[in-house]
């Protein structure tokens, strides 16, 4: 094991290369660029022995991932915002083709106008593509989640692509110390991929031709079953990781001081990390509050959230909005509670367009709920300029 002090993107590049993908097709976009540049540097140093394809668009990046993955090899890519949106069609394709591609997405605002800061609308709008979605809160978690994701994606009962999102600049361009395991331990953790199907001249199959309704419905049901299975597998992989490397970032949720809490805050990504400071401060003031950081958005931890709803009222901060409704996590949380819990749930929209959300801001939101002043849905700190 060694310690590497670097930005989220370079850490992701390191993790990706240590997972030994055979093919990495990529296209640059701020703030993902240093991730793909990082991998390009490993090509030069010889640490990355796979094929790095400089494609001409993100649509082609994902198409090339699909093509390569269909030959049975491991693939990785990274993107952000408009790049992710351009991939949309191929994201569905990858998931329906059950190809275990792993991708980092750096959460960046969607234009117009052009804005390179962070919010989650890019990845939230890919919610229904069939990809497993993680949101990270530190560079160490980025590293660990990238490695874990290959194991998850390639598991014989999962066979789905995984997207690992982390916030633009707050993580992508901020240096932190990260423990990096030895290559042989990574190799042991993620053994060689055994594909369920592949393009093979010795077994010529036709993949993806015309399919009738009943057979197609089964494809969708199988995907759903696999995501349900992933819910069980993610905690197992986290446990195995902890046993081997001593670190644990939570399962689908990361719970912090929830045991006796009468209020539980749910948030994702960097706000999730910041929230821990707020929880400590609020507890000093005597408020019994805990944090459930949503680490995995798809599959959504429905059962765990319901459990929290049996114990506490829930406060949700979304750095995204499904326009015409509310924050995406808020919707999911309420759906998880429905019919089975009397908990109250409060939603805040905060930090859109990359606006800073500090621990002080988070404390204000929580206190508003605790003091009975919060409406069911609010925009926090909205300036309307």
Partner 1 sequence: MAIKNLPREECYLPGSAACPGCPATMALRITFKALGKNTMMIVPACCTAVIESLHPHTSFDIPTMNIAFEAAAAGASGVEAGLRMQGKTDTTVVAWAGDGGTYDIGIQALSGALERGTNFIYICYNNEIYSNTGIQRSGATPYGAWTTTTVGGKTEFRKEMGEIIQAHHIPYAAQTCIAYPEDMYKKLVKAKGIKGPKYIEIMAPCPPGWRFSMEKTVEMGTMAVETGAWALYEVENDKVTFNGKSKLILEKKIERKPIEDWIKHQGRFRHLFKPKKDVKRIKTIEDHIDLIWERYRKRHL
Q: Name the residue nearer to partner 1 (CB basis): 40 or 55.
A: 55
Number of shown-chain residues binding partner 1 (CB under 8 A):
42
- Give Cα 94 to chain centroid, integer Å: 17
Residue 70 in contact with partner 1, rule: CB under 8 A: yes
- 223 is a site residue for partner 1 (CB under 8 A): no
Least distance to partner 1 from the beta carbon of 29, Å? 16
Asked if 73 interacts with partner 1 (CB under 8 A), we say yes
Q: Please, what is the minimum distance in Å from the beta carbon of residue 22 to partner 1?
A: 4
Query: What's the rounded Cα separation, in Å, for the pair 232 and 301?
Result: 10
Contact flags string 33-52 toward partner 1, x per CB under 8 A: -----------------xx-
- Site for partner 1 contains 381 (CB under 8 A): no
Distance of CA 127 to the CA centre of its chain: 11
The Cα–Cα gap between 328 and 341 comes to: 20
Task: Report whether 116 contacts 168 (CB < 8 A).
Answer: yes
Q: Per CB under 8 A, does 78 bind partner 1?
A: no
Q: Which of 20-28, 29-37, 294-302, 328-336 is the region at the interface with partner 1 (rule: CB under 8 A)?
A: 20-28
Smallest separation (angstroms) from partner 1 to the CB of 153: 16
The single residue among 3, 212, 323, 385 that binds partner 1, judged by CB under 8 A, is 212
Both tokens of 355, joined, read 């606006």
Q: What angle do CA 25, 106, 302 make, to 5 degrees?
A: 110
Q: How far apart are CA 206 and CA 21, in angstroms?
A: 25
How many whole angstroms separate alpha carbon 164 and alpha carbon 152? 12
Please, which residue, 215 or 323, has the CB nearer to partner 1? 215
Burial of residue 32 (CB within 10 Å: 0-12, 13-18, 19+) is buried
CB nearer to partner 1: give 128 or 200. 200
Residue 206 binds partner 1 (CB under 8 A): yes
Q: Which of 12, 18, 23, 365 lies at the binding interface for partner 1 (CB under 8 A)?
A: 23
Q: What is the DSSP string of 28-54?
A: --TTTHHHHHHHHHHHHHTS--SEEEE
Interacting residue ranges for partner 1, rule: CB under 8 A: 22-23, 25, 50-51, 53-57, 59-61, 63-73, 75, 89-90, 93, 199-201, 203-212, 215
């Amino acid at each position: 094991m060694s310690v590497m002090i670097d930005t989220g993107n370079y850490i992701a590049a390191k993790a990706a290369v240590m997972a030994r993908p055979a093919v990495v097709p990529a296209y640059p976009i701020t703030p993902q660029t240093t991730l793909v540049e990082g991998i390009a540097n490993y090509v030069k140093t010889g640490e990355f022995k796979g094929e790095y394809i400089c494609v001409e668009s993100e649509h082609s990046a994902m198409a090339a991932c699909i093509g390569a993955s269909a030959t049975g090899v491991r693939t990785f890519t990274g993107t952000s915002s408009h790049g992710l949106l351009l991939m949309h069609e191929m994201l569905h394709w990858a998931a329906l083709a059950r190809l275990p591609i792993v991708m980092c997405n750096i959460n960046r605002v969607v234009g117009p106008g052009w804005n390179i800061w962070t919010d989650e609308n890019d990845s939230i709008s890919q919610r229904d593509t069939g990809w497993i979605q993680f949101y990270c809160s530190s560079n160490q978690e980025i590293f660990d989640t990238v490695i874990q994701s290959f194991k998850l994606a390639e598991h014989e009962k999962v066979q789905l692509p995984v997207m690992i999102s982390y916030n633009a600049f707050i993580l992508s361009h901020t240096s932190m110390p990260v423990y990096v395991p030895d290559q042989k331990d990574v190799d042991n953790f993620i053994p060689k991929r055994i594909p369920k199907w592949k393009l093979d001249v010795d077994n010529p199959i036709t993949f993806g031709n015309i399919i009738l309704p009943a057979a197609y419905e089964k494809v969708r049901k199988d995907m759903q079953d696999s995501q349900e299975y992933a819910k069980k597998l993610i905690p197992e992989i986290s446990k195995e990781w902890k046993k081997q490397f001593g670190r644990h970032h939570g399962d689908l949720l990361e719970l912090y001081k929830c045991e006796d809490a009468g209020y539980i805050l749910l948030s994702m990504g960097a706000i999730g990390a910041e929230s821990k400071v707020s929880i400590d401060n609020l507890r000093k003031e005597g408020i019994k509050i805990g944090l459930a950081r949503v680490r995995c958005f798809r599959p959504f931890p429905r059962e765990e959230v319901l459990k929290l709803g049996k114990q506490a009222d829930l406060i949700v901060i979304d750095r995204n909005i499904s326009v015409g409704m509310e924050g995406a996590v808020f919707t999911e949380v309420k759906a998880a509670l429905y019919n089975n819990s009397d908990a109250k749930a409060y939603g805040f929209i905060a930090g859109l367009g990359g606006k800073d959300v500090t621990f002080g801001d988070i404390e204000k939101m929580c206190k508003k709920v605790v003091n009975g002043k919060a409406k069911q849905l609010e925009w926090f700190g909205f300036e309307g300029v």
